[in-house]
Amino acid sequence: MLIPEFIYHQLLTTPPLPKSSFAGETIILTGGNRGLGFEAAKHIIRLGVSKLIIAVRSVTAGEEARTKLLKDNANAHIEIWELDLGKYESVKAFAQRAQTLSRLDAVLNNAAIAKYNAFEITEDNETNVTINFVSTFLLIVLLLPKLRESAEKFNINPRVSIVGSEGMNWVAFTERKSKDGEIFKSLNTNSKTTNMQDRYFLTKLLVMLCVRELVTRMENSRNNGSTVQRIIINVPAPGYCATDLAHELKGSVAVRIFEKVMARAPEPGSRCLVDGIGRGKESHGQYLSESKIKPTGKFIRSEEGKEVGGRLWDELVVKLENIQPGISTNI
């Protein structure tokens, strides 16, 4: 999407209400206690979900959100599970717990962080990279066996959505040109050229590149057996929304004015996310914006983008194997 089109949608259009039925389904929503996630939870409940698992870093905050949701939906089945994407062991424990579910129909990966100021390391990567990218893929790949099991047992197409951003199309991604060819090493080095102001958007570019790689590998996976690959993975973007995600920048008068003029409320943005987990096979491997399938930026579609995506994926798999040996066999 070009910037003029983005501005047009921000100011003059509203995403449609999602209409999919989630009756009988079990859905995991990460980061569902506030902002976009909380509004997405409302829609998921409205659409009849049988069990909604809200994954949060703070169980106390999650329970507070659950109480609010139950005020308007007393019969809703909402569970709060602990998940800290800043800790690999927490991700692994959450995924292990999910294996006990009788079914898993969809996973909406909404939880993310946006650190614009200090360069910090969480686990073995810069913090944004760990939480928004590595841990998100760690969770997804760990959940693939349960999703496949559900697909077979209930004859369904499980859906996995990772929240994206239009900003992924506008970042420079100079780290791809590191002299030693190691993308993660460059991402995790605080150099003079490190631009923390676009780091959140860069992590969303990393997500999109590796979603396409994961989709390709899943299509050719031996785990499909004699069946067709049924899991659907897509990347829906909510547009620019007034949430506390960019709280580190809120001290700037210019940022506050820009948000007041351009940002939409969390509820309309959440419609795009819920639309993502209600989508069918046409959305597999696709980027969604304004609840429509849209082309990505030129870099992602270019030959260089494909080559960089392949290298990035190979590095990611090595990292995931170090975290959980044997995890790549899930793919």
* pLDDT of res. 211: 99
Nearest to 161 by CA among 232, 260, 259, 246: 232
- Of 51, 88, 146, 200, which one is the catalytic site residue? 200
Would you state the pLDDT for residue 224?
67
Q: In this predicted structure, what is the pLDDT of residue 242? A: 86
Nearest to 178 by CA among 319, 311, 28: 311
* Choice among 88, 204, 240, 319 that is catalytic: 204
The question of whether 204 is a catalytic residue gets the answer yes
| Residue 168 and residue 288 in contact, taking contact as beta carbons nearer than 8 Å | no
Q: What is the pLDDT along the chain (331 residues), one digit of tens a residue?
A: 667 888 888 888 899 999 999 999 999 999 999 999 999 999 999 999 999 999 999 999 999 999 999 999 999 999 999 999 999 999 999 999 999 999 999 999 999 999 988 899 999 999 999 999 999 999 999 999 999 999 999 999 999 999 999 999 999 999 999 878 899 999 999 987 788 999 999 999 999 999 999 999 998 887 766 556 899 999 999 999 988 876 656 557 777 787 788 889 999 999 999 999 999 999 999 999 999 999 999 999 999 999 999 999 999 999 999 999 999 999 9
How do strand 121-122 and strand 125-126 relate by DSSP bridges? antiparallel
Counting every residue written for the chain, the total comes to 331
Q: DSSP per residue over 59-106, as a string?
A: HHHHHHHHHHHHHH-TT--EEEEE--TT-HHHHHHHHHHHTTSS---E
Q: How far apart are CA 204 and CA 206, in angstroms?
A: 5
Report the DSSP pairing between strands 106-109 and 26-30. Answer: parallel
CB 165 within 8 A of CB 239: no
Looking at residue 248, what is its pLDDT?
Answer: 56
Residue 247: partners with Cβ closer than 8 Å, 6 or more residues away: none
Q: Could you tell me if 105 and 53 are in contact, meaning their C-beta atoms sit under 8 angstroms apart?
A: no
Q: What is the pLDDT of residue 117?
A: 86
Do residues 85 and 123 touch, judged by C-beta distance below 8 A? no
In degrees and rounded to multiples of 5, residue 262 shows phi and psi of: -100, -30
pTM above 0.85, yes or no: yes
- By CB neighbour count within 10 A (0-12 exposed, 13-18 middle, 19+ buried), where does 53 fall? buried
